[in-house]
Amino acid sequence: MSEILQKDDAIIAEIIAGARTLFEKFGLKKTTMEDIAKEVGKGKSSLYYYFPSKYEIFEAVVDQETTELFSQAQIAIDRATTAKEKLKAYSTIRLCKINKMGNLSQVVKNDLMDNLSVIMNIKKKHEKTQFIMVKEIIIMGIESGEFKKVHSKDIDLLAFLFVAAFRGIALPMCSSDFSFPDLTKSVDTIVDIMVEGIGNQKSFVNNN
């Protein structure tokens, strides 16, 4: 039984990998089940056995990409030593993904926007993972004295705002054909602003 399940898993992985290549090249609308079958060297009947339609394959592709993203982020975070460096590691992985979205063809971008509800539902599945990642970094920074002490209830708020900031960056880059800058080159600045803010503490104190 386990051998059958392993074989099924291998076939599903092949289908997802082949579909992922085609979706990135041609978009969801222009890619057919027949195209995917040819890409992976399977009959269409094999595809339909595992996936009712290309839309279910698309969901599987997005889900896999999101899982891979946070797996890569966790590895990068674990390698960093300070809390700030961990935030930069997380930010770099997230911004690389956002830049990739920004560089997709307009056809593929339009497909993503047309299926935004599907994508958002998948993202929600992984939102807790992302939130916990950032929250643990913030707690580490506070406990080590690297970050200032905040009320325990505000830690959740800070983690939420940090995660939400990247979600907010991603949408316009996916929905617009405007040429956006390579944000990965500004990771240090972005994290500095998020951690330290833009206010002049000395000036603030003097004025109050």
Tokens of 38: 């040819």
93 CB-near residues (< 8 Å, 6+ apart): 69, 72, 73, 76
**Total tally of structural domains belonging to the chain:** 2
Residues 145 and 185 in one domain: yes
- Domain coverage including residue 37: 1-52
- With respect to residue 147, please indicate whether it lies within any of the assigned structural domains: yes
Do residues 78 and 131 both lie within one domain? yes
Residues 41 and 65 in one domain: no
CATH number at residue 97: 1.10.357.10
Q: Is the domain of 145 the same as that of 179?
A: yes
pTM: 0.75
Task: Give the up-direction half-sphere exposure of residue 157: CA atoms within 13 A in the CB hemisphere.
Answer: 5
pLDDT score at 203: 43
Which segments in the chain show pLDDT lower than 50? 1, 5, 203-208
| CATH at 30 | 1.10.10.60
Same domain, 85 and 63: yes
pLDDT of residue 39: 94
Does 31 share its domain with 87?
no
- 50: closest CA among 3, 17, 11? 11
What is the token pair recorded at 78?
């674990």
Residues 108 and 168 grouped into a single domain: yes
